[in-house]
Structure 1
Amino acid sequence: MKKTKIVCTLGPCSRKPAVIKDMIKAGMDVARINMSHGSHEYHKETINLLRGINDSIPIIADLKGPEIRIKEIERPVFLSAGDRVKLCGKEKVGCLLIDYRNVHEAVSSGSRILLDDGLIELGVDAVENDVVICTTKNSGTLNNNKKVTIPGGNLVIPFPSKHDKEDILFACEHKLEFIAVSFVKQKEDITAVRKIIGDSQCLVIAKIETRESVENIMDIIQESDGIMIARGDLGVELAPEEVPFIQKYIIRLCNKMGKPVITATQMLESMIKNPRPTRAETSDVANAILDGTDAIMLSGESAIGEYPSQAVQVMTKIALRMEKLVRHSISDVGASISQSISHAAYQLSLNEFVTKIITTTTSGFSARMLVRFRPRKQVIAVTHDPLVRNQLMLDWGVIPLCFSHKVRHTHQIIDNALESCLSKGLINQEDVVVLTAGIETLDAGHTNLIEIHRVGEVMKLRGWK
């Protein structure tokens, strides 16, 4: 069974019942909707469609963030190297319109402006009133709504924007499992989003795609519930050769802290048009898995690509092959009782006679502390909360399911966990399981019990069939 999770962006080519079913069958674990495109009504239709097919697939609402885009291009425009281009933050004859009114204040002569994830580079020659005059450095075709990046630009954009606030409230209203926050620069950005979320149990994922976010990475990881390494924008903001090192560094930190991490952007980009990936793309996915990523993500490949389910199949095959080589590298176990119990469960699972690990969890914390050690044995997380069950679908190696009812007594918790696993066919009477739980604790995330059981013996003692 695949342990690395696969996140698939749903879009025009994949928001169809047959395609979604094929992607789930191929290995999709988590769905992503891009709030930069489409109306709330459009996204509501997507949510209802997915939940009508499988309501245990969690959904990430990926916020637009404080980004700038090209606007009002009716048809593709080809820019040749050396072309003179004018940009403006308001409609003006002879200018390309971008949705940042004060662009002329953010740049000066010698600044760089990157269009469409850096595929087209403009050099700023001069600023005349509110018009930015540029020279095209390389040829390319520009389409409407493509992203504009100004490395080192003095941008003053409210965070979160009015658009993002509306999208956050939309995600909470529809009880989505995750919100991904774009262009995070500091931990205060995550705090601001949490204030809007309020009492919602929606988890917050910080997208790392700016120089500032890399510089503040430790604080951001601590403040967030998970991390997405958005390599497209990161590779535009920073030198491309820096991105692989940063990817490995961030994954290592997330593993150590027990926070799920998604590696994203252009993983199988060629499969938007082709039925097979390039060898370089295959190696990219494989190396992310070896680095220790919890999840790998498809963007355009599944949203607008011609082969969405085939792209998922490719990722699944790579994951199954590479997971045989994954080794944990966590030396700092942690000082809490829960962390010690999780490490002990991992150590016990190294014995050949142990076949499965079952962890009962209220918030998902215990399961995340366990899988950071990347155990070879199957990890089953049992919770009373369907939302927590869904959220654990993002974590490496976790098979989540729900208790039939919430219990507190030790005997009932263990029995209910075993019965739940038996009913789903995840264990059988031949299995020897390590089981962890939190007994008589006041708060979630406090695991203090570890036991080993022969499932067949428990079945006989309880009179189960």
Structure 2
Amino acid sequence: MLNISKKTKIVATIGPVTNTLEKVRELIDAGMNVMRINFSHGTYETHKTIIDISKKLIEEHIYIPIMLDTAGPEIRCHFFEDGKVEIVKDSIVTINMKEVLGTATEFSVNYPKLVDDILVGDMIKIDDGKLRLDVIEVDREKRLIKVKAFNTHVISNRKGINIPGERMTLPALSERDKKDIKFGIENGIDMIAASFTRCAADVIQLKNYLAELGAPEIPIIAKIENKQGVDNIKEILEVADGIMVARGDMGVDIPPEVVPVMQSDIILECRKVGKPVIVATQMLDSMQTNPLPTRAEVSDVATAIKEGADAVMLSAETASGLYPVESAAMQQRIAITMEEFLPYTQLANFGYNYSKKKRSDAIATSVASTANLIDAKAIVCFSETGKSAICISKSRPKCPIIMVTSSPAAGMRVAPYFGIYSIVVKTLPQLIEDMEAFALIKMRQLGLKPNDNIIITGGTPTGTGSTNFLRIVALNKLGDI
């Protein structure tokens, strides 16, 4: 049964502690809507296990899409003795361009050209900035960089490395990314989160590669993680299918105190164009080891929802933490609470003001406004492609949008959008009366009460590509069918 208790979506990273069908079911019950696989970690074997879980769920008519999160043009440490090592404050450490097994005095990175891009005086930040290394010597002949540790910190295998600034010459789409994406497409992933997107050209390059693979329809969520991405957000939105505000690396590349401002601005730009925006990184970070979050973390999730995020994300909390299901359940409870206080009338007007003002936009705004006025408990939208449901989502109605479609791909595509839940059928009803009968039965199955009102909307005849009707129906009419 669909979990429609909230409208803000939850993207949960699946990892060693959650990569079983049983745990995934628990996460779904706790509010998960999208399964993220971080391709910076794990093996193809473990990734395929997660994808196969999604396929098993589809057999049960449960549509939870797989988001492939690319490693992207990122720099990472190689491996360390015992998997981790403590770098001590003021110690001198050598960074080797040739792969070595890392120690407290020497480790290597996966980007051999780092020695060519780096300068004496630069800062190298590791593990989302938790370790700072200051460059004191660059030996391009021996391919070595010497650094001095600014602080003490334990780093582990394959931790991310940031060099603040825009001098790095990393490719937008690495050979590893191409290999990973090809594997993902061949095994049935549903969307891609493109790490470290810097400009529209990065997205276009990925789109072209997907076309080469015969999968041009795969949605691309551009991850904004650095100053270039922030500066180019409008051009990126023109070509991407959605945005992820990836605050971990962003907070290393730009001052952390500026990140909340950037988050607000990016959410607003996404809202204007009606594309989904996911707020990510460290949302409930302490729940990796604690059963309850800090009050600051609760406020962080609440603020993202209040600002208009379509979805919030969990990373290590659900991939490797001690309380994965509790983390998702906590985000769900925060969402349910915050959604009671959203300014729905203003949100509906905002959706129309920034729309293309076509007939379908007017109907979408009318649907949302009417639903709010009559306190409808659900909007049932019959949509082949999902576009009608997305239009309604832009106006942020107070009740959930139940999209009925005959396209599994469309059902998966709308998963990150605020308020949209999918029911996939073999064939869409052709007549309004048949749509009404279907909607009444399904809504009662979802637990709505006899005196509840619902709104039914769609296009008739089916397949016209345009929403052209709105109907208010009371569930007590079910007795007449």
Which among 354, 357, 360 is matched to residue 335 of structure 1? Answer: 357
Aligned match of 1:348: 370
Aligned match of 2:145: 132
Measure how far apart 1:440 and its partner are: 5.0
Alpha-carbon contact 1:169-1:196 (below 8 Å) kept: no
Percent of counterpart pairs with the same letter?
34
Which among 74, 94, 98 is matched to residue 86 of structure 1? Answer: 94
**Structure 1 residues 125, 300: CA separation in 2 closer, same or farther (over 3 Å shift)?**
same
Do residues 272 (structure 1) and 288 (structure 2) align?
Answer: yes
Alignment-mate amino acid for residue 35 of structure 2: A
> Aligned runs of 1:61-460 on 2, under 5 Å?
61-75=68-82, 76-91=84-99, 95-129=106-140, 130-152=143-165, 154-198=167-211, 199-200=214-215, 201-327=217-343, 328-329=346-347, 330=350, 331-352=353-374, 354-406=376-428, 409-411=430-432, 414-415=435-436, 417-418=438-439, 421-422=442-443, 424-425=445-446, 430-439=451-460, 444=465, 446-457=466-477, 460=480
Residues 191-245 of structure 1: CA deviation (Å, up to 9, x unaligned):
1111222243321111110111101101112211111110001101110011111
What CA distance in whole angstroms lies between the structure 2 residues aligned with 1:346 and 1:128? Answer: 62
Measure how far apart 1:78 and its partner are: 1.6
Residues 387-439 of structure 1: CA deviation (Å, up to 9, x unaligned):
222332222112221234135x4437634752663574465654433322133
**Structure 1 residues 79, 95: CA separation in 2 closer, same or farther (over 3 Å shift)?**
closer
Alignment-mate amino acid for residue 47 of structure 2: H
What CA distance in whole angstroms lies between the structure 2 residues aligned with 1:355 and 1:101? Answer: 57
Alpha-carbon contact 2:166-2:228 (below 8 Å) kept: no
**Most deviating of 230-239 and 432-441:** 432-441
**With structure 1 as the length reference, what TM-score do the two structures score?**
0.92
> Aligned runs of 1:3-42 on 2, under 5 Å?
3-42=7-46
**Structure 1 residues 274, 40: CA separation in 2 closer, same or farther (over 3 Å shift)?**
same
Alignment-mate amino acid for residue 77 of structure 2: I
What CA distance in whole angstroms lies between the structure 2 residues aligned with 1:19 and 1:347? Answer: 38
**Structure 1 residues 411, 138: CA separation in 2 closer, same or farther (over 3 Å shift)?**
same
- SS for the counterpart of 1:280 is helix
Alignment-mate amino acid for residue 78 of structure 1: E
Residues 35-67 of structure 1: CA deviation (Å, up to 9, x unaligned):
111222221112213432564111111111011
Residues 51-106 of structure 1: CA deviation (Å, up to 9, x unaligned):
32564111111111011111132232222221112212114796421111111111
What CA distance in whole angstroms lies between the structure 2 residues aligned with 1:388 and 1:185? Answer: 28
**Structure 1 residues 162, 356: CA separation in 2 closer, same or farther (over 3 Å shift)?**
same
**Most deviating of 13-22 and 105-114:** 13-22
What CA distance in whole angstroms lies between the structure 1 residues aligned with 2:151 and 2:139? Answer: 23
Alpha-carbon contact 1:345-1:370 (below 8 Å) kept: yes
**Structure 1 residues 337, 109: CA separation in 2 closer, same or farther (over 3 Å shift)?**
same
Alignment-mate amino acid for residue 455 of structure 2: V
What CA distance in whole angstroms lies between the structure 2 residues aligned with 1:289 and 1:60? Answer: 21
Measure how far apart 1:21 and its partner are: 2.4
Measure how far apart 1:114 and its partner are: 0.6
**Structure 1 residues 19, 111: CA separation in 2 closer, same or farther (over 3 Å shift)?**
same
What CA distance in whole angstroms lies between the structure 1 residues aligned with 2:13 and 2:126? Answer: 22
**Structure 1 residues 429, 164: CA separation in 2 closer, same or farther (over 3 Å shift)?**
same
**With structure 2 as the length reference, what TM-score do the two structures score?**
0.89
**Most deviating of 161-170 and 267-276:** 161-170
Alpha-carbon contact 1:62-1:181 (below 8 Å) kept: yes
What CA distance in whole angstroms lies between the structure 1 residues aligned with 2:411 and 2:444? Answer: 16
Residues 315-338 of structure 1: CA deviation (Å, up to 9, x unaligned):
111111111111244143432222
What CA distance in whole angstroms lies between the structure 1 residues aligned with 2:378 and 2:100? Answer: 65
Residues 94-133 of structure 1: CA deviation (Å, up to 9, x unaligned):
6421111111111111111111111111111221222212
Aligned match of 2:67: 60
What CA distance in whole angstroms lies between the structure 1 residues aligned with 2:449 and 2:290? Answer: 42
Alpha-carbon contact 1:74-1:144 (below 8 Å) kept: no
Which among 46, 56, 68 is matched to residue 50 of structure 2? Answer: 46
* Residue segments in structure 2 that go unaligned for 5+ positions in a row: none
**Most deviating of 229-238 and 53-62:** 53-62
- SS for the counterpart of 1:349 is helix
Alpha-carbon contact 2:285-2:316 (below 8 Å) kept: yes
Measure how far apart 1:452 and its partner are: 3.0
- SS for the counterpart of 1:382 is strand
Measure how far apart 1:249 and its partner are: 1.3
Alpha-carbon contact 2:119-2:138 (below 8 Å) kept: yes
Alpha-carbon contact 2:93-2:148 (below 8 Å) kept: yes
Measure how far apart 1:255 and its partner are: 1.9
What CA distance in whole angstroms lies between the structure 1 residues aligned with 2:409 and 2:308? Answer: 25
Measure how far apart 1:309 and its partner are: 0.8
- SS for the counterpart of 1:393 is coil
**Structure 1 residues 390, 413: CA separation in 2 closer, same or farther (over 3 Å shift)?**
farther
Alpha-carbon contact 1:403-1:417 (below 8 Å) kept: no
Alignment-mate amino acid for residue 128 of structure 2: D
- SS for the counterpart of 1:87 is strand
* Residue segments in structure 1 that go unaligned for 5+ positions in a row: none
